[in-house]
Structure 1
Amino acid sequence: MDVESFDFELPEELIAQTPLSDRTQSRLMTLNKETGEIGHHTFKDLADYLKAGDLLVLNDTRVIPARLFGLKKDTGAKVELLLLKDLGDNRWEALVRPGKKIKTGAELVFGTQAEADEPVLSAIVEEEGEMGARIVRFSYRGIFNEILDRLGEMPLPPYIKEQLNDRERYQTVFAKHAGSAAAPTAGLHFTEEFLEGLRGQGVRIAFITLHVGLGTFRPVSVDRVEDHNIHAEYYILSEETARLVNETRAQGGRVIAVGTTSARTLETAAGLSHSQGYIDGEGRTLLHACSGWTSIFIYPGYEFRAVDGLLTNFHLPKSTLLMLVSALASRKYILHAYAEAVKNRYRFFSFGDAMFIYSSQSRK
């Protein structure tokens, strides 16, 4: 499959640079994945497309201020560290600038100039990883996440050029488990009040955790979709969420993933369960609690086992996320919908508007 077949023209001025003052005031495009029918709404109208017995699955990861500025201890040269992946035992995979000058054994210190001699946070480069990454081990005085909150900056996507004045606007209102280098942006549209309203109409809410890595913004550099290797991200699917998914499907409700991260987690779990023979008498895959690293790559031709519908933002041309949504609907319907979004001046990417891809019936 040709990567170029997922390209489309996007005027730069449609890339949203700041969040709206009211999360629920974004626009919502609806797309019936079976007929291709498109509707234009505001986000609050999502409630009209959800039914009692449906299950919304949201990602409760929390973005960490993963961009750190510091100094090389021996020379005082300025360095920038971008945390990518928590490897445990105070070790992280990170991108370092200037990369060519930061070798194995380099010591880095962070904080104010006054703290440089006795830094509250320091790191040593233990090894060089793939694609220019480094493995660093931190030493610190205090609680690591609190130090990051004080010293770190939010790692906004490269297409956002404006300063973010309120960090919490790059967090979902249900963010709980720290670990992401980017927000699960489909969840940014929700408020607590809106979620309570959905619960009141009989829609069930469940959570997964997937810590989003910056690889989500990495361009596809190969010509063929099948040749691309997707980044690995850590996920957790709880026993409670697995139970709710299984109950929803057994009772004829729809499982709606909020964001591609939720979709990838659910499909990873479903793939594991299916391979282990967790199948009910109706042939449905039964999810069970699991966690680990997933590099699942979903593109047209993939057969979904858990997800019936998807709420998502509008994605970059030729991106793996655009390929995922094209697998759930079809490339033809998705590219037509994106052309309509451009024509109607929808806002794109992380702080942009939303799309709801749905079917009338649950997956059998």
Structure 2
Amino acid sequence: MKRSLLNAFVCAVMLGVNMSYAQSEPRVGVTIYKYDDNFMMLMRKEMNKEIENFRHLKWFMNDAQNSQVKQLNQVEVLLNHKVNVLAVNIVHPNESKTIVEKAKANNVPIVFFNRDPSKQAMESYEKAYFVSSNPQEAGEIQGQLIAKAWRANPHFDLNRDGKLQFVLLKGELSEVSTLRSQAVIDELNRQGIATEEVYSDTAMWRSTIARNKMNEWLVAKRANEIEVVISNNDEMAIGALDALNAHEKKLPLFGIDALPEALALIKSGQMSGTVLNDSVEQGKVVVQLAANLAQGKPATQGTEWENSPSKTIYIPHIGVNKENLEQFLK
């Protein structure tokens, strides 16, 4: 306890020194919901690369550690130290209105990214922006990958009833998870593939919870009916794979994000496909918008979205399977 308090004090002192030293420079305050989230680790890496192009600005990065209370405190500190713009990867969407109100009261623009703020919060402030990817598009492309694999591999239909029986691992309860989950099944049905849900549940985007959930399903009454495993993201898909391997069972497995680990698993044949959720481009655009706003420029000036009237920028998804895998391997 004493050590954590000391660390907090040292960080606060360092933050105060840096802030006071940089008062004449445009300042950007960033808070990320959780540094050790696999996708956010990739995105933060790309953000740090892009920040090198804006070294005349001062950037203050914060890890909210999946705590909305901590993130709200970080926002307060950043605003008190007169940052020119906030960039927020929000912990809980239902708190986006609170953060917008704080930013608006200080006339500070805000760029939400990756995790959706509420529609109400976005509409309440003309200086609120959002950078992410369209979750419905992600689900649709995942459905296209599954449909293609299903038609090319008749043996996937284990009971030969012409119907795709699936389990679905969902992210935490949110619009993103809901849209991805609905869109993947809608796309399969749109392509004329009959589907039947065997089991579905949230695994909170986390591999450990997904592994436990998949373990439960593999010993449940309808375990032998499972033909395809669908996951809202790659991290949960990897957890499901751990469970499948423990039960010495192989099933088609599809995720979303195109994490390096997932790409390696597609190459080895342990995963069937994923959907690129472009952390590189998202990271670049967040930094570019925040840098523009910090300098008093229009948010999208000098970007490929300069002529877009929307305050929401969606980075396109790309389906990945063995056919096009090589272009995504680094």
On whether the aligned pair clears a TM of 0.5, the verdict is no
| More relative contact order, 1 or 2 (CA 8 Å, 6+ apart) | 1
Larger fraction in strand: 1
Larger fraction in helix: 2
